[in-house]
Chains A and B, each alone.
Chain A
Amino acid sequence: MTDSQWPLWEVFTQGATGEPFEHAGSVHAADAEQALQNARDVYARRGEAVNLWVVPSTAIVASAPSDAGPFFEPGNDKAYRHPQFYKVPKGVKVF
């Protein structure tokens, strides 16, 4: 008896137009079309999505948690990239 484990697809849902796509979970499916249908049935039964992306799980490239420190370090010590770094005269509304 063939009882295939179809490939895994990662599912991303957009809740409303203009919003970002968020990872919702995964589905198994034989092809992209079926992956979209399964994703709709599993992750959008109550209007949770106006758009869906399905991506073969094997196509995802991820950063490694063990290297997270050095990998993200360049962004951690640059306070001057935040507005709070800059002084403005008291009482002046900048924005």
Chain B
Amino acid sequence: MTPTSAAPTAEDARVAAFEARIAAGESIEPKDWMPERYRKQLIRMMSQHAHSEVVGMLPEGNWITRAPSLRRKMSLIAKVQDEGGHGLYIYCGAETLGVDRHDLVEQLLNGTAKYSSIFNYPTLSWADMGVIGWLVDGAAIVNQTILAKTSYGPYARAMIRICKEENFHKRQGYEIVTTLARGTPAQRAMVQDAVNRFWWPSLMMFGPSDTDSPNSGELLRWKVKRKTNDELRQRFVNLTIPQVQAVELTVPDPDLHYDATSGNWEFGAIDWTEFNQVIRGNGPCNKERLDARRAAHEDGQWVREAATAYAEKHASRATEAA
């Protein structure tokens, strides 16, 4: 029997039942049967997402000691701690698919895992903290608000939790941007420069164009994704441009214009060569980010050992006392 003429199998029936559940809007839970491909795609998406949260702590952690006031410093520490928490929510969700967090972290540290390309750009000024909170977290919110309706229950629940917290990130970022935009000419110039550097990388965060997104069809059919990359990117631009105008800044796109027919802010062509270079590890900070992550992991080794030793000591005392 050749594969092309194969009669319907038990596997086909299970896939059909699974797809019927998805079509009916049901959530898939960890112990439910799912096609191997669905499981693999989710592990890939969720681990990349978790890695992005963890690596995302680095560009901002870089500025904690140089925050301009105690208020800003407290906010930034809280935000960076949230990003670590978000990484943990999603690793925890990924583990329900039968992978170990340990293995996922190992893939990040040995450089085989991908994470969001945005974090491979340097944070050169304090204004970058504002612009990252506003644009990068703003883009993440657009993406994650839709992911909160994804078909895999644990991922959706992690996204709902994350979305609530991201709103603080975005507002604190926009507050920094507003303050600088209304400040001295030097402060205005600094924040405009930050927008100029982060605008295009923020648009790239939504991933390749729909015409060049090999996984999208399947992911949309299984309702892992609920909107395409381009739809989400357009939504982000439409939401953001009025915020840019409100603080009298500009985005570095001479082709940007409002289209009254579609109601969209039409933007210029994205430099996908740059995107692909950064994804492949050739961005400005890829090596620096991974080196910093590895150092943090190794520097934390004694803490993990101490916690294990403490737990063992207490367990053995409890046994002796019994």
A interface, CB within 8 angstroms of B = 1-6, 8, 25-31, 33-34, 41-42, 45-46, 62, 64-66
B interface, CB within 8 angstroms of A = 29, 31-33, 78, 81-82, 85, 88-89, 92-93, 95, 100-102, 157-158, 161, 165, 301, 304-305, 307-308, 310-312, 314-315
* B interface: dominant SS: helix
A28 — which chain B residues lie within 8 A by C-beta? Answer: 101
B310 — which chain A residues lie within 8 A by C-beta? Answer: 30-31, 34
The answer for the CA separation of A46 and B78 in the assembled complex, in Å, is: 10
Is the pair B100, A5 in contact by a Cβ cutoff of 8 Å? yes
With A25-B158, A26-B92, A45-B85 in contact, do A65 and B29 touch (Cβ < 8 Å)?
yes
The answer for the CA separation of A7 and B140 in the assembled complex, in Å, is: 31
Is the pair A2, B305 in contact by a Cβ cutoff of 8 Å? yes
From residue A37, how far is it (CB to closest CB) to chain B in Å? 10
A30 — which chain B residues lie within 8 A by C-beta? Answer: 307-308, 310-312
Is the pair B29, A3 in contact by a Cβ cutoff of 8 Å? no
User: Would you give 5 A-B contacts (Cβ < 8 Å), ordered by A?
Assistant: A5-B102, A31-B315, A34-B307, A34-B311, A62-B31
Is the pair A27, B88 in contact by a Cβ cutoff of 8 Å? yes
The answer for the CA separation of A45 and B85 in the assembled complex, in Å, is: 9
Contact of B89 among A3, A6, A25 (CB under 8 A): A25
Closest to A25 in B: B92
A26 — which chain B residues lie within 8 A by C-beta? Answer: 92, 95
B93 — which chain A residues lie within 8 A by C-beta? Answer: 25
The answer for the CA separation of A4 and B89 in the assembled complex, in Å, is: 19
With A4-B304, A26-B92, A30-B311 in contact, do A65 and B33 touch (Cβ < 8 Å)?
yes
The answer for the CA separation of A30 and B311 in the assembled complex, in Å, is: 6
